[in-house]
Structure 1
């Protein structure tokens, strides 16, 4: 019984110790920002580029959905679009589509 009492009191002391987080500081600027601040885009510019990219991907998906191509090719192009929307294969497919539209 006495041993159990010492055990409970000992674990209580261990659990009551304060947790002290490490004193690591977050860097305010990256190395790139310190030496080449002109190359780092602002948050607003990054958001604008992201929206432009998402709009471009959405447009390409709509184009692929309206094309008269086989379902297998459409699925393959959609997979390429999701993986890398600006790949050579996707750009070639979009160029072929634009060329066909201009001929008509």
Structure 2
């Protein structure tokens, strides 16, 4: 299992997670740009997806989405229910209530 720092610079992760420290401040577009994910390849985006998909189901479900910042760094906060829903709505293109790998790639590409 790879870690986020295999794909992204620790300093960039720290800066991006720090910018989301306040409640209701998470914006996936800004976050993906700040942490350096936006500038990476699709293969690297898929590696990040696999790290965030904690149960290896092939999807990032709502329970995993609220932990997205913790997926980047253990000291990240949990997303609020409102932030989690907004992220799910942005990424869940087929309406199945979870984000698949192709949906995640599309979500990062839109950032």
TM bracket, shorter-chain basis: under 0.3
Higher helix fraction (1 or 2) = 1
Max Rg structure: 1
Q: Which has the higher contact order (CA 8 A, sep 6+)?
A: 2
TM-score (norm 2): 0.24
- Determine which structure has the larger strand proportion and give its number: 2
